Amino acid sequence: MTATGDTHARSLPRRIFGLLDIVGASPRPLTLSEIARGAGLPVSTAHRLLSELLHCGVLVRTATGRYELGERIWRLGVAAPWERELRRAAAAHLHDLARRTGSAVALATLSGERLVCLDTVAAPGDGLALAGAGEELPVTATSAGKLLLATTARDRLGAVLNKRLPRLTPHTLVAPRLLMTQLERARRHGYATAHEEAVIGQASLSVGVPTGPHRLPMALTVLTPAPHHDLTRMLPPLRAVAAAMSAAVTVPRPQE
């Protein structure tokens, strides 16, 4: 291999990871020109590399044609040491919340347009089926998804609402206008609820885990059998544990 070819071969991984760093660091999906400009690459070169990343599932495109991190990069991330450290640091708080409320609890994050489960703790005898770490959850039909969507970037929210919203149960909200009303309420009050919208017989209440701009956005959730007529009575312990978790879980947002 020539010296020039060898230099080019070595630079290719750096170019690819440079693109991923730019997309991953942005609070919103990016256009091709924004990514090319940030990477200092010709648009044609950036387009070729981004096309390969799309084909691999490492990146995805929104309904408006912008780029954001895809599910495959997240699934690689959940096997990384930072994710194991996050689960280790969060575990005691999840068990504390389960003890205080007597209910199942879960921790989730938003990855692009997808809601991904980080960890769960079951409640004895409630019969609820819980997701495992790394599993995708319905973003518009869960309290955690609504809570995180309420504070996400406008482009990302628009990409979710511009798609046909899936009806998972007779109670699922499939009208964007009605969902937006709930998201606005979640933004105002700092919590979100779901009543048999994703799974019949299950209700949930979620609050955000306070984070800074470089911390992974997370939602802490209590799940109970439905119908449950007073979910908000669990807000005090839920918020207290979320605040304690924020102070203890210092793992930064991964640079996927």
For residue 27, the model assigns a pLDDT of: 64
Q: What is the pLDDT of residue 47?
A: 94
pLDDT at position 69: 82
pLDDT confidence band for 255 (50 / 70 / 90): very low
Has residue 121 got a pLDDT over 90? yes
CATH number assigned to the domain covering 3-69? 1.10.10.10
And the tokens for 210?
């306070």
Q: Which of 68-77, 181-190, 193-202, 246-255 shows the lowest mean pLDDT across its residues?
A: 246-255
CATH architecture of 75-248: 2-Layer Sandwich (3.30)
pLDDT on residue 2? 42
Query: In this predicted model, which residue has the larger pLDDT, 204 or 114?
Result: 204
Banded pLDDT at 155 (limits 50, 70, 90):
confident
Joined tokens for residue 240:
């207290």
Nearest one of 111, 130, 140 to 221, comparing CA atoms = 130
Classify 18 as helix, strand or coil. helix
According to DSSP, residue 106 is labeled E
Q: How far apart are CA 57 and CA 162, in angstroms?
A: 21
SS3 (DSSP) at 198: coil
Q: Is the pLDDT of residue 243 over 60?
A: yes
Portions of the chain given CATH number 3.30.450.40: 75-248
Is the pTM of the predicted complex or chain greater than 0.85? no
Whether the per-residue pLDDT at 196 is higher than 90: the answer is: yes
CB contact at 8 A, 206 and 144? yes
What are the residue ranges of CATH 1.10.10.10 in the chain?
Answer: 3-69
Task: Assess whether pLDDT exceeds 50 at residue 151.
Answer: yes
Predicted pLDDT at 214: 53
Nearest to 134 by CA among 96, 84, 195: 84
Gap between the Cα atoms of 49 and 165, Å rounded = 31
pLDDT at 235 over 90: yes
Whole-number average pLDDT of the chain: 84
pLDDT of residue 79: 58
* ∠ Cα 94 230 146 (to 5°): 60
Pairing of strands 104-111, 218-225: antiparallel
Closest CA to 96 of 226, 222, 225: 222
Is residue 220 within 8 A of residue 105, CB to CB? The reply is yes
- One-letter amino acid of 225: P
pLDDT at position 76, please?
A: 67
Tens-place pLDDT, residues 18-62: 898 888 777 678 999 999 999 999 999 999 999 999 988 889 888
